[in-house]
């Protein structure tokens, strides 16, 4: 029983390690795309914000934008 458990644990750890390597590779690829965008003149900070907004649910995004506008108006930034 212990040997089967040890094998299962080893396999799970190895899977996690492979996935971590894949994640690092993907993060490197994303960094390269941002570098390419910056090289042709795009503002990567704004691109990151747009990507974050696109991930959000439409209602959540509208609510966040309304609160942001309220705060900006209160601070005279409107």
According to the model, what pLDDT value does residue 11 have? 97
Contact 19, 11 (CB under 8 A): no
35 within 8 A of 43, measured Cβ to Cβ: no
Report pLDDT for 1: 61
- Tens digit of each residue's pLDDT (9 = 90 or more) over 19-73: 999 999 999 999 999 999 999 999 999 999 999 999 999 999 999 999 999 999 9
| pLDDT value of position 78 | 72
Query: So where are the chain's domains?
Result: 2-74
Per-residue DSSP letter, 76: T
């Amino acid at each position: 029983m212990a040997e089967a458990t040890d094998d299962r644990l080893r396999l799970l750890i190895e899977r996690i390690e492979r996935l971590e390597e894949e994640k690092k590779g993907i993060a490197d690829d994303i960094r390269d795309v941002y570098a390419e965008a910056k090289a042709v003149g795009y503002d990567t900070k704004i691109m990151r914000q747009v990507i974050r907004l696109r991930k959000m649910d439409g209602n959540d995004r509208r609510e966040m934008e309304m609160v942001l506008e309220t705060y900006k108006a209160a601070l005279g930034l409107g």
